[in-house]
Amino acid sequence: MALTISSDLCTGCAACEDECPNSAVHMKRGMYLIDPDKCTECSGKFDQPQCQAVCPMTGCISKAG
């Protein structure tokens, strides 16, 4: 259970990094990535995945796999 960031759509604004309650979002070689081991899709914490709810780019953050 994890989300993933589309590198094509990502603007690098870091909003998701700031909102993630699990510190699962990090920057690697100029790209933002979600650590699948840490991502819980905010289950049990919030009723919407925070990164998806704040991301300005439609479709940029979606379910992995």
Partner 1 sequence: MPAATAYIPLDSFGPGRPVLSDASPQAAPDLDARVSDHPCYSESAHRHFARMHVAVAPACNIQCNYCNRKFDCSNESRPGVVSERLTPEQAVRKMLAVASAIPQLSVLGIAGPGDALANAEKTFRTCELVRRQAPDLKLCLSTNGLALPDHIDDIVRHGIDHVTITINMIDAEVGAQIYPWIFYDHRRHHGVAAAAILHQRQMQGLEMLAERGVLVKVNSVMIPGINDTHLLDVNRAVRERGAFLHNIMPLISAPEHGTRFGLDGRRAPTAGELKALQDQCGDGAMQVMRHCRQCRADAVGLLGEDRAAEFALAALGEIDPPYPREARRAYRAGLKAAAPAAQPSAPPVALSESVCLTVAVATRGDDRINQHFGHASEFQIFEVDGAGARFIGHRRVDHYCQGGYGEDDAMATVLAALNDCHAVFVAKIGNCPREALRAAGIETVDRYAQQAIDPSLRDYHFDYLGRLAAGQLHHAARGDALLRQGAFVAV
Does 44 contact partner 1 by CB under 8 A? no
Name the token pair of 10: 């990502």
Does 18 contact partner 1 by CB under 8 A? yes
Does 53 contact partner 1 by CB under 8 A? yes
Does 15 contact partner 1 by CB under 8 A? yes
Q: Is 24 left (phi over 0), alpha (psi -120 to 50) or beta?
A: alpha
In this chain, which of 30, 44, 56, 65 binds partner 1, going by CB under 8 A?
A: 56
- Phi/psi of residue 51, nearest 5 degrees: -65, -40
Residue 35 CB, shortest distance to partner 1, in Å, is 19
3-state secondary structure of 18: helix
